[in-house]
Amino acid sequence: MRATGDTWPHMAGAAAQPVRRATVATLPAVKMLRRALVALSLAGTIAGLLRMRGKGGVPPQEGGWREVGVPPQ
Amino acid sequence: MTTPIVGLAGCGVTGSRVLHHLAAHQVRVAVYDPSPALARNTRVVRLESAADLMACDLVVLCGPAPHAPLTEMLVADATPVVSVGDDLDDMQALLALQPLAERHGVAAVVGAGMAPGLSGLLARYLAAQLHTLDELHVAVHGTAGPQCARQHHAALGDAALGWHDGEWIQPPGGSGRDLVWFPEPIGAHDCYRAALPDPLLLQRGFPTAQRISARVSATRRDRLTARLPMLTPPHAAGDLGSVRVEARGAGPHGERVSVIAGVAGPTAELAAVVCAATVGQLLRHPVAPGVHALGDEALAGLDLLHHATQLGVRVQEFTGVARATSW
């Protein structure tokens, strides 16, 4: 049995394109900034969804005050 | 028959208005107030000492707390007393004078101002509209004079008093926020529990009520500084105030019913009108010996709320459905 590219085509492709590894490590500050941006965008999305689902801040507007007479007993 | 003489102890913001109302109804008034401001007023009969008040037919106490020591002295001399005090500790001491008042056959009416006072009258007025009374909730806004403002400030920092399911509770002052709509022009204000004597007096007058609470309006700064001295001087002449009473209970067919009444106006004027109406009625119709509050059944025959409206109090009723806020 021959181990050629014709016999194992997928292995042949993998051998042709070696795994690419990052050569420069991500800076910790950039990583934190990225996480903060993700958290903020998530919070904004959730808050927006909740605000759209709520009925809004309308105070109760039923009723009112009316002067009444107090007759003698 | 000689015209009765009313002694007035304390002639400040509220006391001076009581004096005005009584004088307008041809009641002879003698004033005891050691403050130098009164010395300049030459139109009033001035008493030199508190002991001189015992010569009067009835004494009105409008000065700062405590009222209990002077009331005890006057009751022991069989002199009727009307007090506008609203200090909780002082009120407990006043109510403890019940045996002394009965022994000397004299009546002492306590809490005869806006709250307590008008609050009790409104509670009685609302309770008559219910088949069964279960709850009474009082809210107060505004202060009469500087002493009254200091009293409210201190009350917000002390332990409150409430009647809850048949027993007394003492929640901390400044707790239990409730957004309360007062009659116009006062409008909506956040109100908090405080050391107010209204539950103490209302529970006596309405023993069937299961829950009784009292709250006072306050801002965030008021709550924050309640346990400190007042940072800013209070209004020298008082301000606009209001009292609102909500009664909950059942109708004749068992349905749940809530009825609300309130009054708004200058706080000192409201207190003075209620006090003057009480004095006027007590001079005409003596009541049973003992210590009474304005919401008590014993004073129902005096028809005090009607007489207060005759002197300028405008009672308002909330129309619509009272319900919890949903926002």
Domain ranges in chain B are 5-113+270-309, 118-267
B325, closest residue in chain A (CA to CA): A60
Share of chain B above pLDDT 90, in %: 61
Q: Which two tokens stand for residue B224?
A: 């924050």
Interface with B, mutate which of A65, A66, A73 (most B CBs under 10 A): A65
- Give residue B234's pLDDT: 77
Q: Answer whether residue B327 shows pLDDT above 50.
A: no
Amino acid in the structure at residue B15: G
Give the pLDDT confidence score for residue B68 in this predicted structure.
Answer: 93
Q: List strand residue ranges (DSSP E) for chain B, in order.
A: 5-9, 28-32, 45-46, 58-61, 81-83, 107-110, 132-141, 162-164, 167-169, 178-182, 187-193, 211-217, 240-250, 256-266, 290-293, 315-319
Measured between beta carbons, which residues in chain A are less than 8 angstroms from residue B327? 56-60
Cβ-nearest to A63 among B303, B320, B326: B320
Of B125, B184, B188, the CB nearest to A70: B125
A59 and B321 in contact by Cβ < 8 A?
Answer: no
> How far, in Å, CA of A18 to CA of A8, rounded?
16
Give chain A's contact residues with B (Cβ, < 8 Å).
Answer: 55-60, 62-73
Q: What is the pLDDT of residue B233?
A: 77
Q: What residue has token string 């106006």? A: B265
Query: In 3-state terms, chain A is what percent helix, strand and coil (to 5)?
Result: 45, 5, 50
Contacts of A60 in chain B (CB under 8 A): 323, 325-327
Residue count of chain B, please give it.
327
B64 prior amide bond cis, ω within 30? no
pLDDT at res. B203: 95
Kindly list the residues from chain B whose CB atom is less than 8 angstroms away from the CB atom of residue A70: 125, 305-306, 309, 315
pLDDT tens digits along B9-51: 998 889 989 999 998 888 899 999 877 666 566 567 888 888 8
Measured in angstroms, the CA of A41 and the nearest CA of chain B are apart by: 26
Question: Would you call B26 an interface residue with chain A, using a CB distance cutoff of 8 Å?
Answer: no
What is the distance in angstroms between the Cα of A56 and the nearest Cα belonging to chain B?
8
Closest Cα of chain B to A35: distance in Å?
34
According to DSSP, the β-strands at B178-182 and B187-193 are antiparallel
Structure confidence at residue B214 (pLDDT): 95
| SS3 at position A34 | helix
Render the burial of B90-115: b for 16+ CB within 10 Å, e for the rest: bbebbbebbebbeebebbbbbbbbbb
Tell me which architecture the domain covering B118-267 has in CATH: 2-Layer Sandwich (3.30)
Q: How far apart are CA B290 and CA B108, in angstroms?
A: 6
Min CA distance, B111 vs chain A (Å)? 21
List of chain B residues whose C-beta atoms are within 8 Å of the C-beta of residue A59: 188, 325, 327
Residue in chain A closest to B310 (alpha carbons) equals: A70
Across the interface, do A67 and B325 touch by the CB < 8 Å criterion?
Answer: no
Residues with Cβ < 8 Å from B226, sequence gap 6 or more? B153, B154, B156, B157, B173, B174, B218
Q: Is B118-267 the same fold as B5-113+270-309?
A: no
Interface A-B: count of C-beta contacts within 8 A: 53
> In angstroms, rounded to a whole number, what is the distance separating the alpha carbons of residues B284 and A72?
16
Confidence of residue A59 (pLDDT cuts 50, 70, 90): low
The DSSP code for B307 is: H
Amino acid, res. B221: R
- The answer, yes or no, to whether residue B318 has pLDDT greater than 80, is yes
Give residue B188's identity as a one-letter amino acid code.
A
Higher-confidence position of A53 and B137: B137
Q: Which fold has domain B5-113+270-309?
A: Rossmann fold (3.40.50)
Where is pLDDT greater, at B36 or B94? Answer: B94
Q: Give which of B12, B3, B121 is closest to B64, Cα–Cα.
A: B12
Q: Which of B184, B303, B305 sits opposite A65 (nearest CB)?
A: B184
CB B125 within 8 A of CB B315: yes
Closest chain A residue by Cα to residue B305: A70
In which residue are the tokens 């409150």 written? B160
CA of B310 vs chain A CAs: smallest distance (Å): 9
The distance from CA B133 to its chain's CA centroid, rounded to whole angstroms, is 21
The nearest CA of chain A is from the CA of B293 a distance in Å of 19
Tell me what the pLDDT averaged over chain B comes to.
89
Terminal Cα-to-Cα distance of chain A (whole angstroms): 117
Q: What is the ipTM of this complex?
A: 0.77
CB contact under 8 A, B316 and A67: yes
pLDDT over 80 at B319, yes or no? yes
* Residue pLDDT, tens place only, B165-211: 989 999 999 889 899 999 989 988 999 999 999 999 999 999 999 99
Tokens representing B213 are: 């609470």
User: Which of A64, A66, A70 is opposite residue B305, by nearest beta carbon?
Assistant: A70
Shortest CA gap B219–chain A (Å): 19
Q: Is residue B135 a contact partner of residue B209, using CB atoms and an 8 Å limit?
A: yes
The B5-9 sheet, strands edge to edge: B45-46, B28-32, B5-9, B58-61, B81-83, B107-110, B290-293
Q: Does B318 touch chain A (CB under 8 A)?
A: yes
Are A68 and B317 a contacting pair at CB < 8 A?
A: yes
Residue B76 burial by Cβ neighbours in a 10 Å radius (0-12, 13-18, 19+): middle
Give the sign of the dihedral formed by CA B131, CA B134, CA B139, CA B144. positive
